[in-house]
Amino acid sequence: HLDALKDIRKMMQRSSRFISLSGLSGIAAGIWALIGAYLAYNWIGEYYDVFTRGGYTNENFHSLKWNLFLLAGGVAGLALISALYFTWRRAGKNKLPLWDHTTKQLVINTAIPMVAGGIFIIAMLQYSEWRFVAPACLIFYGLGLVNGSKYTLSDIRYLGFLEILLGLINTQFIGYGLYFWALGFGVLHIIYGFVMWWKYERNPTVEN
């Protein structure tokens, strides 16, 4: 009877939550984020070297903006590809569908705060307001994770809370956004990914 109840519980979980998220995708995303932060740090440093030597031009500034924009897009793209690959691989091992109604709900509920945040950030950039871009990225990303957590493993909610908290702290330390990005999108993702892997993938028989 206990085995039957466990089987029923697993079926109910699988029908209401997407449980194929892989901790390895979190680790990969964190690594890409740290690499991106390292490159951005070097580019910003080179820009300020030119600025202090009196070689500053508007062309230098616009070039830096576009390079950082493309770098952010590249990091996000690599993180997304890594997440899809590791999630697809785990879903295959568990013989579960990668895309179904629950996955759709997870994507929609996660995307709503992130898309709203992206539009808000673009508006800030439109008016050359850079100071709160980094905090806004962390806060809206965290809100997306919290909003989507009810459709997947509950652990992701705590990552969302930490991202929101980190973004709020960053509002009081303007000028250190790159460090907070590296901590939020890099270090926290790696820690979260390792915890997820340890709990659910190291021993595949363990279910949340």
Per-residue pLDDT of 4-20, as tens digits, reads 554 445 554 454 466 66
152: which strand partners?
A: 18
- Residue 84 near residue 103, CB atoms below 8 Å: no
74-88 pLDDT, tens digit per residue, is: 999 999 999 999 988
Please write the tens of the pLDDT for every residue from 170-201: 999 998 999 999 999 999 999 999 999 998 88
User: Distance (Å, rounded) from C-alpha 50 to C-alpha 46?
Assistant: 6
**pLDDT digit string, tens, across residues 140-151:** 999 999 999 888
User: What is the residue whose two structure tokens read 């085995």?
Assistant: 3
Reduce the DSSP state of residue 135 to 3 states and report it. helix
pLDDT classification of 207: cutoffs 50, 70, 90: very low
- pTM of the shown model: 0.84
C-alpha–C-alpha distance, residues 47 and 61, integer Å: 8
Q: Which residue has the higher pLDDT, 105 or 135?
A: 135
